Amino acid sequence: MSTVRLSNPHAEPVEELDVKKTTCYMCACRCGIRVHLRNGEVRYIDGNPDHPLNQGVICAKGASGIMKQQSPARLTQPLIRRPGTERGAGEFDEISWEEVFALLAERLKKLRETDPKKFALFTGRDQMQALTGMFAKQFGTPNYAAHGGFCSVNMAAGMIYTIGGSFWEFGGPDLERSKLFIMIGTAEDHHSNPMKVALSKFKRNGGRFVSINPVRTGYSAIADEWVPIKPGTDGALLLALCHEIIAKGLYDREFLARYTNAGQLVIQDPDADEFGLFAMDPEGDPVNPDYPHNKYWWDRLTDKLVPTHTPGADPRLRGSYALPDGTPVKPAFQLLLDRLKSYTPEWAEGICGVPADTIRRLAHEMGVTARDQKIHLPISWTDSWGVEHDHVTGNPVSFHAMRGLAAHSNGFHTIRALAILMSLLGTIDRPGGFRHKAPFPRAIPPIAKPPRGPHAVKPNSPLDGMPLGFPADPADLCVDDDGRPVRIDKGFSWEYPLSAHGLMHNVITNAWRGDPYPIDTLLIFMANMAWNSTMNTSEVRQMLNDKGEDGEYRIPFIVVCDAFQSEMTGFADLILPDTTYLERHDVMSILDRPISEFDGPVDSVRIPVVEPKGQCKPFQEVLIELGSRLGLPAFVRPDGTRKFRDYPDFIVNYETEPGSGIGFLAGWRGVDGQKAIRGEPNPKQWEMYAKNNCVFHYVLPASYQYMRNWNKGYMEWAQRVRMRRDADPILIHLYSDVMQRFRLAAQGKRPGRRPPPELRERVEKYFDPLPFYYPPLESQSTDTTRYPLNAVTQRPMAMYHSWDSQNAWLRQIHAHNYLHVNPATARAAGIGDGDWMWAESPWGKVRCMCRYSEAVEAGTVWTWNAIGKASNAWNLGPMANEARKGFLLNHLISEELPMQGSARRMSNSDPVTGQAAWYDVRVRIYRAGDDEPKESWPQFEPMKTLPGVTKTRPGVLKYFVGNWKKRS
């Protein structure tokens, strides 16, 4: 059914397509796209060359957006579990939206009037946390989080608690000016296109790229050097790199002295209640009472105690001193030295498998490049202490890391070590190093705090603050008077005090067990909690269906909103069909995780290019409708009538406070659209975004683009536009007094909250103010001779985990996954290339196919994440490779671990942040028997196709769009 003949296509009339611009959502990258329409149908999608994020390029996923619209798994109707049938049986009836809203409003109203925390809202990588979080706050439930606890909260928290910013949306490597780039661990999809664009330019400019990773795939393939490392040991490597850089004097002393807390004096009297906290000058000006600055330096030039940042002074970074009252003190840097002393390259070699000589060489490369290839940009700026600088300095060494470091139970300290290494090299918010993206940097830690206890959760009342935040002190924890958790996921409790993104991975287990309490309604948006967004998948699926002794479901009501028939929809009582990204309005808000560039804030929107399918309704509209019906204050006028017509109206007119001028979008504010960041609502805001490539990019003056933690001009600008409350400098926390405050509480040293007795030792150990290395918790409690291998996942660039196995083109690239094993390791286990084999952990086992790979560290096995699917999920056929040959590693990973010396079970997570430790699992491998079925295990009962989802899957797809000149 082709059209013009290729015998002479040049002579044929050219075709003009209708082009609409919007923002991609085939992964979380958020590139600008052009959707080319032929007679109203999508003919082609490519990158928007006028978009700052992707500059015209697109990835395999983005270019396959057409096939998302063709997916056989599209939900088209709201559905309710058929009365009298069991949950999970797949029997549903169609229901109207009016019935949906009436039913939900009635149920949720009762919960809000009695006990709002019985309603829990957890979302996937939804890119609308500003709205979903606000809905939870307005409802008054603390039981809200997105998927960050499962994904990379260690990366966010470890970096934010150290330098006030982090990777991906919050900052990244300045590869345009960098000379040496080190990527550690899995990071392929964060960032996607911008990282690829930058990496190729970097390499063409002659930059040197070192990849430290157990596996050589993706970006690592083009690294100039691959350094294989054992999973979960990156902390040891990073600490040894710090050790060597300091031993050789390759650190940027000037940067450390002025811009970090290296020179500030820490109390060393072990009997003092303030032990390990900074000595405070009672006469000094705190500047900001929430983040007091009145600390001391020991001035090297006068050999005297002076207030920090005294003009003309230069702090000693080493040694021991005494305050006038005799209190012993040490500079924070000396404490770091004491800590690093035993972390030699030889010590690290024995843990991470990287030869000591390689560690030394890498440290020298980093230190010498940072020092000898300095960049001087002729940009004048003024620092927070009023000193004027006529140039900006750059030390061109940059780093990138994401989940590979984060998804371990020692990830927080590993990432603190990385942030400290980056700081030692003097690379923070400087050209060629790490650069922040607005609205970062934030205070350390940021101002937002979670609800501080049960009293914050009241019937018919919004929460005072947001449900998630950054505790700075035990007083900020969300616990009751006995130190017990208030949240269903136990976030911000003594078990995981700094769980800034919540612990979505424990919600179902906790709710099923009724620990800390049972809930009533669980609303899941775009998260596949019955498959790859959960650990211990097989048992969690049983929990979703399990009933108590009273014969009622342990989780009484489960609502799932998704655009597709996923594994999760099978466990719903109520299914809400969402739209796709091409069918709806959306915002990538500055209140959430915007797409800012190094040079200034950027936010963007989606504008629908095609009509929604069937009865599909955007989840945003569902929340606004529910908020209005429930009378949540932000959604109604004082008289109780509805405030916003729909989501686009909400986006234009919502302000964080009446008259605040701050809304979801920062661009074209003010009645005439002339204001940026802050301004009155502009009724034509959507039109202005539409005219401007759906993106707003505010470019800061050059003098505000660097050194932002301590840049007076930037800070005052940020304060003026209310992007920041305060304008005081943000010193890098080499030494974390925030951590020490929790440790002191565990030691019973300060007044205030104390951890429950059984958790004191844990809090004391892991709340170390300096990074330290410990083996992942799972290795500590596993017989590692029986389970000698680490098992991890990577994400293929052409498949965004669970989202696109329904995509006819993308699934041809990855229809099933293998377990990749080093040939030496496989042969030792008697497994041949392509053989069926078993991978077994202490928690479960999977049968899968082996693929030999010379590009994996010999003690590690790995697979592509979430390619395996449950039978018939995503409306794939019963024999689809995803279910028959593909497998999910999550079956091997427990969501809980036994607590040492106790019957208690804790989340299999980082003890500081609650980050799911799903890269910690240990396995053994063996060949499957010749008599065993040649298919993956476990298998599940095929899912039934839901009403409204197509019953016929084409045997052949001849995709040709529109009624263009048909071929004769």
Partner 1 sequence: MTQLALVIDLNVCVGCQACVTSCKSWNTSGTAGSLADLNPYDEDPTGTFFNRVQTFEVGSYPNTETVHFPKSCLHCEDPPCVPVCPTGASYKRAEDGIVLVDYDKCIGCKYCSWACPYGVRELDPERKEMTKCTLCVDRIYNEALPERDRKPACVLACPTSARIFGDVHDPDSVASKAIRERGGYQLMPEWGTEPSNHYLPRRKTEMTIRPDEIVRTDNPLKVDGLKPMPDASTPALDDAASW
In this chain, which of 856, 916, 925, 949 binds partner 1, going by CB under 8 A?
856
Task: For residue 798, state whether it binds partner 1 (rule: CB under 8 A).
Answer: yes
Binding mask 14-53 for partner 1 (x = CB under 8 A): xxxx--------------------x----xxxxx-x----
Whether residue 556 has a cis bond before it, omega within 30° of 0:
no
Site for partner 1 in 282-321 (CB under 8 A): 300, 316-318
Q: At residue 966, what are phi and psi to the nearest 5 degrees?
A: -70, 145
Beta carbon of residue 790, minimum distance to partner 1 (angstroms, whole number): 15
Pick the stretch among 392-400, 621-629, 724-732, 810-818 that binds partner 1 (CB under 8 A). 810-818
Question: Of the listed pieces 55-63, 154-162, 396-404, 437-445, which binds partner 1 according to CB under 8 A?
Answer: 55-63
Determine the Cα–Cα distance for residues 23 and 606; give it in Å rounded to an integer: 5
Instruction: Looking at residues 319 to 358 of the shown chain, list those that interact with partner 1 (rule: CB under 8 A).
Output: none
Q: How big is the chain by its Cα radius of gyration, in Å?
A: 28
Pick from 57, 265, 329, 348 the residue near partner 1 by CB under 8 A.
57
Q: Tell me the window of 208-216, 385-393, 439-447, 662-670 that interacts with partner 1 (CB under 8 A).
A: 208-216
> Is 279 within 8 Å of 265 (Cβ atoms)?
yes
Nearest-approach distance from CB 399 to partner 1, in angstroms: 16
How many Cα atoms sit within 13 Å of 34 on the Cβ side?
A: 16
CA 314 to chain centre: 38
CA–CA distance, 819 with 791 (Å, rounded to integer): 9
Residue 170 binds to partner 1 (criterion: CB under 8 A)? no
Question: What angle (nearest 5°) sits at the alpha carbon of residue 859, between those of residues 858 and 861?
Answer: 90
Of 166 and 853, which CB lies nearer to partner 1 in the complex structure? 853
> Which helix H or strand E contains 389, and what residues bound it?
strand 388-389
Is residue 437 within 8 A of residue 169, CB to CB? The reply is yes
Measured between alpha carbons, how far is 864 from 887 in angstroms, rounded to an integer?
9
Instruction: Name which of 422 and 463 has its Cβ closer to partner 1.
Output: 422
| Degrees, nearest 5: CA angle 246-251-257 | 110
Choose one: 8-16, 103-111, 149-157, 891-899; the region binding partner 1 (CB under 8 A): 8-16
Provide the 8-state DSSP code for 429. Answer: T
Residues 127-166 that bind partner 1 (CB under 8 A): none
Piece of the chain touching partner 1 by CB under 8 A; list 144-152, 365-373, 429-437, 507-515: 365-373
Among 708, 811, 891, 922, binds partner 1 (CB under 8 A): 811
| CA geometry: angle 429, 437, 290, nearest 5 deg | 80
By the rule CB under 8 A, 197 interacts with partner 1:
yes
Nearer of residues 492 and 809 to partner 1, judged by Cβ: 809
User: Count residues contacting partner 1 (CB under 8 A)?
Assistant: 112
Using the contact rule CB under 8 A, the part of the chain among 148-156, 194-202, 265-273, 393-401 near partner 1 is 194-202
Start-to-end CA distance of the chain, whole Å, equals 9
CB of 771 to partner 1, least distance (A): 21
Give the residue with the Cβ less far from partner 1, 15 or 113: 15
CA dist 126 to 401, 440, 535, Å? 22, 21, 20
* Ranges within 58-117 binding partner 1 (CB under 8 A): 58-64, 66, 72
Which residue lies nearer to partner 1 by CB, 247 or 379? 247
Taking residues 210 to 249 in sequence order and writing x for each that binds partner 1 by CB under 8 A, - otherwise, the string is: ------xxxxxxx-xxx-x-------------------xx
Which residue stretch of 435-443, 471-479, 550-558, 856-864 sits at the interface with partner 1 (rule: CB under 8 A)?
Answer: 856-864
Which residue(s) pair with 924 in the sheet? Answer: 840
Mention every residue, 6+ apart, whose C-beta is less than 8 A from residue 100. Answer: 78, 80, 574, 576
Tell me the DSSP string of 738-773: HHHHHHHHHTT-SSS----HHHHHHHHHH--SS---
Q: Rounded to the nearest whole angstrom, what is the least distance from the CB of residue 447 to partner 1 in the complex?
A: 34
591 touches 565 (CB < 8 A) = no
Q: Within 902-961, which residues bind partner 1 (CB under 8 A)?
A: 953-961
**Three-state SS at 367:** helix
Contact map string, positions 243 to 282, toward partner 1, x by CB under 8 A: -----xxxxxx-----------------------------
Choices 688-696, 815-823, 899-907, 915-923 (CB under 8 A): range interacting with partner 1: 815-823
Query: How would you class 507 by CB atoms within 10 Å of its CB: exposed for 0-12, middle for 13-18, buried for 19 or more?
Result: buried
